[in-house]
């Protein structure tokens, strides 16, 4: 099993590569059914964690769409969100009058989305939805508006790595999701 620079290794596999692949195809089918060409769908991936999920998802969505990214950070090298969300790269694509789908790797504290979604809503999209691969559904989490419309998996309250998720930039390459 992979090891981080500080000697940590994942404890157990939470979602296998085959389970993830199947669920991403299901999500892509659901998203494809919800939009038409006229919606001018724009997927906005939150980097870095969503990049593998986003790549697999956009290849499986059958309606025409465009892709952009934004970079936000609230973790740094910690295992707990700092609560301070920094926007490091802002998407350049016009969102006005378009169906915008934010693609996130994981919703745990809800802090990142609760800070970013109002900024995106101010750009006057026709609709603004969220698709997340993982949702921890933690008690006491501040509300995210809109709530994710598409959720890949309910996730355990563990620190998860793999399939784009990292611990201090390690483990993103794993084809499965594991508990650290």
Alpha carbon distance 93, 173 (integer Å): 28
Which one of the listed residues 56, 108, 139, 170 is annotated catalytic?
A: 108
Sheet with 177-179, side-by-side order of all strands? 12-15, 177-179, 160-161
- Please list, in sequence order, all residues whose beta carbon lies within 8 angstroms of the beta carbon of residue 107, skipping any fewer than 6 positions away: 113, 130, 132, 134, 135, 136, 144, 148
Tokens 């596999």: give the residue: 13
Q: How far is CA 93 from CA 28, 42, 72, 97, 160, in A?
A: 22, 8, 17, 12, 31
CA 60 to chain centre: 16
Q: Is 108 a catalytic residue?
A: yes
Catalytic residues: 108
């Amino acid at each position: 099993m992979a090891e981080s620079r500080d000697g940590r290794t994942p404890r157990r596999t939470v979602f296998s590569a085959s389970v993830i692949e199947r669920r991403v195809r299901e999500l892509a089918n659901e998203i494809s059914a919800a939009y038409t060409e006229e919606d001018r769908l724009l997927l906005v991936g939150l980097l870095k964690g969503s990049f593998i999920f986003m790549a697999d998802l956009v290849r499986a969505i059958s309606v025409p769409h465009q892709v952009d990214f934004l970079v936000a950070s609230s973790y740094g090298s910690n295992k707990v969100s700092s609560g301070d969300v920094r926007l490091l790269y802002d998407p350049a694509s016009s969102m006005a009058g378009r169906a915008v789908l934010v693609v996130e790797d994981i919703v745990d504290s809800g802090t990142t989305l609760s800070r970013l979604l109002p900024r995106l809503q101010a750009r006057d999209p026709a609709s603004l939805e969220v698709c997340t691969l993982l949702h921890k559904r933690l008690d006491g989490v501040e509300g995210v508006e809109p709530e994710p419309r598409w959720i890949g998996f309910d996730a355990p309250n563990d620190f998860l790595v793999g399939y784009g998720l990292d611990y201090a930039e390690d483990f993103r390459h794993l084809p499965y999701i594991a508990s650290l």
